[in-house]
Amino acid sequence: MNAEPKTCSATTEADPVSETTTVPMWLITLALVLLFLGAWVFDLRGGWFEPKVYGPYTSVADAGRFQPPPPDGPDVKRGKVLFEQNCALCHGNDGMGKPNQAPPLAGSEWVLATGVNRLIRIPLVGLNGPIKVNGQDWNLQMAAMGAQYSDDQLSDLLSYIRSAWGNKASPVTPEQVKKVRDDLKGRSQAYTVDELMKLPE
Partner 1 sequence: MTATSPIPQQHIDCSCRLPLFALFGGAAVWLALSSVFGLVASLKFHAPAMFANCACLSYGRAFPASQLLLVYGFCIPAGLGVGLWLLARLGRVELAKPFLITLGAKLWHLGVLTGFIAILAGENTGHEWLEMPRYASVILFLGFLLMAVWAFVTHTRRSEPALYPSQWFILAALFWFPWIFSSATLLLQCFPVRGMTQAAVAWWFAGNLLNVWLPLVGLAATFYFLPKLAERPLQSHYLALFVFLTLIVAGTSTGIPAGAALPAWMPALSGGAKLLMLVPALALAAVVVLTLRGSTAPCGGGPLCFTKFGAWSLVIATVLLALTACPAISRVTDFTWFSHGRNALVLYGFFAMTMFAAMYFILPRLAGEGSVCPHRVRAQFWLSMLGTLLFAFSLVIGGVLQGLKLVNPAIPFLDVAKSSLMPFRISTLGEALLLVGNLLFLFNVGFALATYYRARCRRVFTDATATLEPAGVKS
Binding site for partner 1 (CB under 8 A): 2, 4-5, 7-10, 12-13, 15-24, 27, 30-31, 34-35, 37-39, 41-42, 44-55, 57-58
Residue 19 CB, shortest distance to partner 1, in Å, is 4
Taking the least distance from each CB to partner 1, the nearer of 37 and 197 is 37
Taking the least distance from each CB to partner 1, the nearer of 27 and 135 is 27
CA 7 to mean position of chain CA atoms: 75
Neighbours of 177 (CB within 10 A): 26
Q: How far apart are CA 79 and CA 84, in angstroms?
A: 9
- List all residues 6 or more positions away from 66 whose beta carbon is below 8 Å from its beta carbon: 57
In 126-192, alpha helices (H): 151-163, 174-184
Residue 20 CB, shortest distance to partner 1, in Å, is 5
Residue 65 CB, shortest distance to partner 1, in Å, is 15
Q: CA angle, corner 137, sides to 156 and 171, nearest 5?
A: 15
Taking the least distance from each CB to partner 1, the nearer of 64 and 71 is 64
Q: How far apart are CA 110 and CA 18, in angstroms?
A: 93
Residue type, 91: H
Residue 83 CB, shortest distance to partner 1, in Å, is 30
Taking the least distance from each CB to partner 1, the nearer of 15 and 72 is 15
Taking the least distance from each CB to partner 1, the nearer of 16 and 186 is 16
Residue 50 CB, shortest distance to partner 1, in Å, is 7
